[in-house]
Amino acid sequence: TAGGRIFSGMQPTSDSLQLGNYLGALTQWVALQDTHDAIYCVVDLHALTVGPDPKVLRERTRRTAAQYLAAGVDPARSILFVQSHVPEHAELAWILSCLTGFGEAGRMTQFKDKSAKQGSDGTTVGLFTYPVLMAADILLYDTALVPVGEDQRQHLELSRDLAQRLNSRFGPGTVVVPEPYIVSATAKIYDLQDPTSKMSKSAESPNGLIELLDDPKVVAKRIRSAVTDAEREIRYDPAAKPGVSNLLTIFAALSGRSIPSLESDYAGKGYGDLKKDLADVVVDFLTPFQERVRHYMSDPSALDDVLAAGAQRARELATPTLERVYDRSGL
Ligand code: ADP
Ligand code: NA
């Protein structure tokens, strides 16, 4: 379609995606299907960097795909597949790793943060080369646009540098140089207990998380226990009132209402009222969402067929790119 090719993916590193993944990424992916030629991937090779149990990884890969489908990713219009089903990702990553400076990779702030936590023996070479594999994911498909959050900007910059390097070493047109696709209206969701850090499935405590597959009762309880502030006023002010503002953001995004109209509705009411109503809104969203996930998970062979068909279509696009790169690099 006219908008150009889009590639995006998420790691199957938890049993459930969280609400930030849904509001910040999945809803955007679904909308982009109308205007772009979209490829959505479950990046299981990336998930190996955290050393998962094999059975758990396989289950999480399926569950992640089921959540993409439940959110509205449509395999009839988009390519939906699992990264490890297309071996070209790992093959292109090797070539790119031979074009990446050791210091250049070492400057990635996400690597610096994660490796500082894990220590040098706990940090794998895979974690170090992770952004190179991400570049391969993108460049294999002649991707024009990559929807990215702020946290992935530096990695996308590396993908662009590597694309330009391939083209200058091996000739123009070897690969397409991707651009970031930033949608400003995308909601950024924060942790319910620590509303200045983003909600993340790798959070240390689950209490600040809204997990898409959690028991709605647990979710409602977490919302009612969300950190707010010592005032009473329900007002959108992310700097002074990050907790309340985060609740308003979630409320607006899931109900389709505007933040000012919510502010005026809750004028004179307490935080308890806001939390109770928000819990209802979230549960009303989660209940049918979880029903759809259960439907996809209840027939693993149908799900596997969808993913196999997606991998085949992905491979048809990846093969000529890899052949071109192999040929031009003397392999
Ligand atoms: P997580 O931190 O939960 O592991 P990822 O880093 O795997 O999430 O991100 C997957 C996608 O979800 C990315 O597009 C990212 O920008 C988006 N995303 C993750 N957390 C949030 C959030 N709290 N608010 C908005 N978008 C988010
Ligand atoms: Na993450």
pLDDT, position 242: 97
Q: What is the pLDDT of residues 192-228, one digit of tens each?
A: 999 999 999 888 889 999 999 999 999 999 999 999 9
- Confidence band (pLDDT; 50, 70, 90) for 152? confident
- Among protein residues, the one whose CA lies closest to atom 26 of ligand 1: 24
Q: Is the pTM of this model over 0.90?
A: yes
DSSP states of 246-310: HHHHHHHHHHT--HHHHHHHTTT--HHHHHHHHHHHHHHHHHHHHHHHHHHHT-HHHHHHHHHHH
User: To test ligand 1's pocket by mutation, which of 21, 41, 156 has the most ligand atoms within 8 angstroms of CB?
Assistant: 21
Distance in angstroms (rounded) separating the CA atoms of residues 104 and 239: 34
- Confidence band (pLDDT; 50, 70, 90) for 167? very high
DSSP run (H or E) holding 94: helix 88-97
- Among protein residues, the one whose CA lies closest to atom 7 of ligand 1: 10
Mean pLDDT of 32-48: 96
DSSP state of 26: I
Q: Quick one: tokens of 324?
A: 């071109």
Q: What is the pLDDT of residues 229-278, one digit of tens each?
A: 999 999 999 999 999 999 999 999 999 999 999 999 999 999 999 999 99
In this structure, how many other beta carbons lie within 10 angstroms of the beta carbon of residue 187? 18
Judge whether 68 and 9 are in contact, CB under 8 Å: no
Query: What are the residues facing 147 on neighbouring strands?
Result: 181
Q: Cite the annotated binding site for ATP by residue number.
A: 11-13, 20-21, 149-151, 189, 198-202
Distance in angstroms (rounded) separating the CA atoms of residues 65 and 98: 32
Distance in angstroms (rounded) separating the CA atoms of residues 166 and 176: 10
Judge whether 58 and 291 are in contact, CB under 8 Å: no
- Confidence band (pLDDT; 50, 70, 90) for 184? low
Asked if the model's pLDDT at residue 2 lies above 70, the reply is no
Distance in angstroms (rounded) separating the CA atoms of residues 260 and 15: 35
- Among protein residues, the one whose CA lies closest to atom 2 of ligand 1: 200
CA 4 to ligand 1 centroid distance, Å: 23
CB of 114 within 6 A of ligand 1: the answer is no
CA 114 to ligand 2 centroid distance, Å: 10
Q: What ipTM was estimated for this complex?
A: 0.95
pLDDT, position 157: 96
Find the length of the chain: 331
**Whose structure tokens read 């990424």?**
25
CB of 180 within 6 A of ligand 1: the answer is no
**Cβ neighbours of residue 205 closer than 8 Å, sequence gap 6 or more:** 193
CB of 246 within 6 A of ligand 1: the answer is no
What φ, ψ does residue 65 adopt, rounded to 5°?
Answer: -60, -40
Q: Cite the annotated binding site for L-tryptophan by residue number.
A: 137
Q: Cite the annotated binding site by residue number.
A: 11-13, 20-21, 137, 149-151, 189, 198-202
Ligand 1 atom closest to residue 199's alpha carbon, by position in its atom list: 23
pLDDT, position 101: 97
Q: Quick one: tokens of 157?
A: 């910059």
